[in-house]
Chain A
Amino acid sequence: EAGVVQSPRYKIIEKKQPVAFWCNPISGHNTLYWYLQNLGQGPELLIRYENEEAVDDSQLPKDRFSAERLKGVDSTLKIQPAELGDSAVYLCASSLEKGQGAYEQYFGPGTRLTVT
């Protein structure tokens, strides 16, 4: 079974430029999460989707960050414009909502963003 897929793995951009990250969750997982992990810290939740619906986006900086999950499968996280402080690893995770093993989150390898 394929795990959570993220691309790109690495991205270097100049400040004020836009950037987008893509995530494909494990097949059948209807809950998808985006996390931000700063250097030396644990991941922090940015947004959680159940199918197409964003059920928790309270930590998403909505002035510059946006996310979508149009068909309830893969998802895109966008930053526009990027700032120096956005340099971090962006992690995607997915989980089942119901059934055995429900709510256990499976993480992708992350996208390491560097803003110069």
Chain B
Amino acid sequence: AQSVTQLDSHVSVSEGTPVLLRCNYSSSYSPSLFWYVQHPNKGLQLLLKYTSAATLVKGINGFEAEFKKSETSFHLTKPSAHMSDAAEYFCVVSSLTDKLIFGTGTRLQVFP
């Protein structure tokens, strides 16, 4: 069965510093992986997706993630945090039937 583990429930950074949100996956086949962001009282928004093409995936708002098969990881990064990045972030793996399996989420706080 497919699953994802988000290693940090909370991450706090200062504005302008790098962001790293960690995600490990488990899958018996080459997975499709996603990062979604959820701002308060707003719908989940797709940041980026990996579907077996380039291992470094660029998304919206300056985020990117690197698929590392040897480490079974798909960490999300951003060089410089902005106040508007404060939100809940979900790492997601897709099953063979396109069912999305979400991690438990990482809450990102950005301090001025």
Q: Does A43 contact B (CB under 8 A)?
A: yes
Q: Does A4 contact B (CB under 8 A)?
A: yes
Instruction: Please tell me if the beta carbons of B102 and A44 are within 8 angstroms of each other in the complex.
Output: yes
Q: Which of B42, B97, B98, B105 contacts A42 (CB 8 A)?
A: B105
Instruction: Please tell me if the beta carbons of A107 and B45 are within 8 angstroms of each other in the complex.
Output: yes
Main DSSP-derived SS at the A contact region: loop
Instruction: Please tell me if the beta carbons of B43 and A110 are within 8 angstroms of each other in the complex.
Output: yes
Instruction: Please tell me if the beta carbons of B104 and A105 are within 8 angstroms of each other in the complex.
Output: no
Q: How far is the CA of A104 from the CA of B97 in the complex (A)?
A: 13
Q: Does B100 contact A (CB under 8 A)?
A: yes
Q: Does B46 contact A (CB under 8 A)?
A: yes
Known: A40-B104, A42-B90. A91 touches B43 (CB 8 A): yes
Instruction: Please tell me if the beta carbons of A45 and B100 are within 8 angstroms of each other in the complex.
Output: yes
Known: A4-B43, A107-B43, A107-B45. A45 touches B104 (CB 8 A): no
Known: A40-B104, A40-B105, A42-B90. A3 touches B99 (CB 8 A): no
Q: How far is the CA of A93 from the CA of B98 in the complex (A)?
A: 13
Q: Does B49 contact A (CB under 8 A)?
A: yes
Chain A residues lying within 8 Å of B105, measured Cβ to Cβ, are: 40-42
Chain A residues lying within 8 Å of B42, measured Cβ to Cβ, are: 109
Those of A15-55 within 8 Å (CB) of chain B: 40-45, 48
Q: How far is the CA of A109 from the CA of B98 in the complex (A)?
A: 21
- 24 A-B pairs, CB-CB below 8 angstroms? A4-B43, A40-B105, A41-B102, A41-B104, A42-B90, A42-B92, A42-B103, A42-B104, A43-B44, A43-B100, A43-B102, A44-B102, A48-B99, A56-B97, A93-B44, A103-B94, A103-B98, A104-B46, A104-B49, A105-B46, A106-B46, A107-B43, A107-B44, A110-B43
Known: A40-B105, A42-B92, A45-B100. 14 other contacts (CB 8 A): A4-B43, A41-B102, A42-B90, A42-B102, A42-B103, A44-B102, A45-B99, A93-B44, A103-B98, A104-B46, A106-B43, A107-B44, A108-B43, A109-B43
